[in-house]
Amino acid sequence: MGNKPPAELNIAFGNSMFVCFVHDGAALVGVGRALADGVYVAYLGDIAVLASHRGIGLGKQIVAELLRLCAGHKKVILYSVPGSEEFYEKFGFRRMLTAMAIFQNQDAAMERGYVEPGPAHHPIGV
């Protein structure tokens, strides 16, 4: 989950319609969540598996479970890290041509490959 503070993750997962947690004993080794309206759209995000548990199908299981939970929505949109597109294409996801975003730290988002460089931006809340 990168460097996201646990308290913020707790709020984010608590406010999500669907969540998936994978444990190995007492250790949390995989997560995923979906924001959804129950009809039109569900947004998958924060899908992650600890490096020590990758390569054994946990990520596939998390995505499959979230897609099962989101069944009936007219579309499912995925938010992922750059470089993971090929993994998600196996589930039928395709790159959107019209998605846009405003990040709290737009420069960091550009450096990490989340958004393309562009004109000056307005901070969230302005």
46-61 pLDDT per residue, tens: 999 999 999 999 999 9
Residue whose entry in the numeric block shows the structure tokens 């790159």: 95
- Which of the four pLDDT bands, split at 50, 70 and 90, describes residue 76? very high
- Which of the four pLDDT bands, split at 50, 70 and 90, describes residue 106? confident
Q: What domains sit in the chain, N to C, each tagged with a CATH number? A: 6-95 (3.40.630.30), 97-126 (no CATH)
CA distance linking residue 3 with residue 15, whole number of Å = 19
Mean pLDDT for all residues in the chain: 92
CA distance linking residue 42 with residue 35, whole number of Å = 6
Q: Which of 29, 64, 32, 57 is nearest to 47 (CA)?
A: 32
